[in-house]
Chain A
């Protein structure tokens, strides 16, 4: 099984390749079951400012790349990504 820290580091690398201009404030990785009870990763990426919609479209292959990386380590957990800005995160927490 892959650890949270290792997964977080890989996500950071993938984001640098996919969104080189984006300023990532924080990446949270949680291990928890999905709606069907299957062990999964929930990956929460917080940006300092909002990447453009075009930039965010580049993220649709992130799951594929991360699943391939996890699979090479014998880990079949599905990575559920979520992207948010610091501003939106603050507003939603109020």
Chain B
């Protein structure tokens, strides 16, 4: 499994690029992409560790590889809402996830969108401060997730994997 902290450290090095003059756009774009992947791999690791015992490495690997970027973003949009949509509200039996998990969900959406622009929009330009903020946002998102209640995290991750299918 990729270590999210190492990815964050790398993103920080890229965003802080200490050379003289304005940092190259390619380096700042890589910083944003790396920061996003730090959050994504943290999520993949959490899914594998929470749902599969450590003595089943192949099953863990399958869970680790299961999240899809687009679906995870769509589902994070729904879980970041306060109050939740009626479908999720009625399924979970509460009005909204905690502020820690909402912050995580909304930051995930923001970072994925920014990463998309950095990786695919040739005309997009960002400042060093914006790249640094993306790294700060990723760091905060991972911290918010870690601080959330474990039962709530379990439900949050299960939804990201499977969503709620109508009965």
A residues sitting closer than 8 Å to B (CB atoms) are: 34-36, 38, 50, 53, 56-57, 60-61, 63-64, 67-68, 71, 76, 78, 80-85, 88-89, 91-92
Interface contact A71-B129, CB-CB below 8 Å: no
Q: Please, which residues of chain A bring their CB within 8 A of the CB of B157?
A: none
Sample of 5 A–B contacts (CB below 8 Å): A60-B137, A63-B109, A67-B80, A78-B109, A84-B129
Of B83, B99, B116, B129, which is within 8 A of A88 by CB? B129
CB A35 to nearest CB in B, in angstroms, measures 4
A1 vs B133: C-alpha distance in the bound complex, in angstroms?
Answer: 30
Tell me if B's interface is mostly helix, strand, loop or mixed: helix
Q: Please, which residues of chain B bring their CB within 8 A of the CB of A71?
A: 81-83
A50 vs B129: C-alpha distance in the bound complex, in angstroms?
Answer: 9
**A-B residue pair count with CB separations less than 8 angstroms:** 70
Most buried by B among A50, A63, A68: A63
Interface contact B82-A60, CB-CB below 8 Å: no
Chain B, interface size category, equals 20 to 34
Q: Please, which residues of chain B bring their CB within 8 A of the CB of A35?
A: 112-113, 116-117, 120
Interface contact B106-A67, CB-CB below 8 Å: yes
A53 vs B114: C-alpha distance in the bound complex, in angstroms?
Answer: 19
Instruction: Check: B65 CB closer than 8 A to any chain A CB.
Output: no
Interface contact B110-A80, CB-CB below 8 Å: yes
Interface contact B103-A34, CB-CB below 8 Å: no
Q: A64-B82, A67-B80 are in contact. Are A92 and B125 (CB under 8 A)?
A: yes
CB A93 to nearest CB in B, in angstroms, measures 8
Interface contact A67-B81, CB-CB below 8 Å: yes
Q: CB-CB contacts of B30-54 with A at 8 A, as 1s and 0s? A: 0000000000000000000000000
Q: Please, which residues of chain A bring their CB within 8 A of the CB of B114?
A: 80
Q: Please, which residues of chain A bring their CB within 8 A of the CB of B116?
A: 35
Interface contact A67-B82, CB-CB below 8 Å: yes
